[in-house]
Amino acid sequence: MRTLDSYDFSGKKALVRVDFNVPLNDKFEITDDTRIKATVPTITKILNDGGACILMSHLGRPKNGPTEKYSLKHLVTPLSLIFGRTVKFADDCIGEQATGLAANLQPGEILLLENLRFYKEEEKGDEEFAQKLAKLGDVWVMDAFGTAHRAHASTAVIGQYFPDKVCGYVMQAELDNAQRILEHAERPFTAIMGGAKISDKILIIERLLDNVDNLIIGGGMSYTFSKAKGGNIGKSLLEADKQDLTLEILEKAKSKGVNIILPLDNVIADDFSNDANRQTVKAGEIPDGWEGLDIGPESVKLFLDIVANSKTILWNGPMGVFEFPNFAVGTNAIAEAVVKATEENDAFSLIGGGDSASAVNNAGYGDRVSYVSTGGGALLEYMEGKTLPGVAALEA
């Protein structure tokens, strides 16, 4: 795989697949620019070499073509400020304007194309669409790790039309850090898995059982474990058809000498609301009509003690409904513990994208852990051992 540092972009027009799928408020203002800032080193390297950048991305999930809400034009001003130059914008990604602006782009200039997903051909991996995109640039740079697990036109199919294809810094860092976790983890190695569903994490959990010393399980998925063990979980999240699977996971972990740690207590609510009545109960003792929305103080203490003594930490998924401040205590405590282990115990910490990344970044801890992944689903699939189309396209 060709790396960015091994390529000279002088006089080249680099067609760069970035992940600018950032959240916007109702005024179309960016509320979290983490993904944009992650691409700055890649774009800067190309410009400093004397190349030009043609940026392509998706934004949201537009259903029927062009949609104001999902237009990348809303990113032009923020991008211009970040790069200290006027970013040009094409109101299409393959039309005449895009072709004309790309043809006339000079070294040191940046062109942003309109949302790729305004064309259904993008997600279908259409070859003709990919070929039209490819004609805009001289070299393809893949730097959108967050979409590397999709065989879309711009993330994988397009690679076949370029003799020169380069792995961007974001992609390279994601792959390097995932490999460090999987193959070079210093022990004790603790994985923290949260989120709503076991079904979303079962493959990564099974892979981790061959690698980790401790597996902490919190969030919505923990209630299915609790129910399977004979506990009462009220109206908490439950995947009823996965109860046998949870017992198998516990047995498998035991046979491999892996310590699985489940919550000891839960903060429960009588409604799915930040302002609901709440109380703390032992795990497995949630009364009818109540639901678990966070881990309790005993769980926090137990989890924190394990994290504090770890040298490698992988965290994917919140401990509760962290969008509600009253039920974000467990998730925030984990974030603080991971930071402390990183800074004081010299642990290597990888935050696995998605909600965990949001929790860490929102708390202002993003630069105090070892690495925050920009691609939740892609990272999980890579760590599960799956081939990512966006990675395979760079290697082909």
Catalytic residue among 60, 108, 231, 377: 377
Catalytic residue among 12, 13, 35, 117: 35
Strand order in the sheet with 88-90: 88-90, 110-113, 52-56, 13-17, 139-142, 165-167
Burial 179-201 (b: 16+ CB within 10 A, else e): ebbbeebeebbbbbbbbbebebb
Taking a C-beta distance cutoff of 8 angstroms, is the pair 51, 90 a contact?
A: no
Check the CA dihedral 357-360-361-367 and report its sign.
Answer: negative
100 annotated active-site: no
Catalytic residue among 352, 354, 375, 376: 354
229 annotated active-site: no
Q: Which amino acid is located at 59 in the chain?
A: L
Q: Which amino acid is located at 272 in the chain?
A: F
197 annotated active-site: yes
- Residue 7: CB atoms within 10 Å: 20
Q: How far apart are CA 91 and CA 171, in angstroms?
A: 27
Catalytic residue among 2, 197, 207, 340: 197
377 annotated active-site: yes
Tell me phi and psi for residue 273, to 5 degrees. Answer: -160, 150
Q: Which amino acid is located at 49 in the chain?
A: D
End-to-end alpha carbon distance in the chain: 8
Q: Give the catalytic positions in this structure.
A: 35, 197, 354, 377
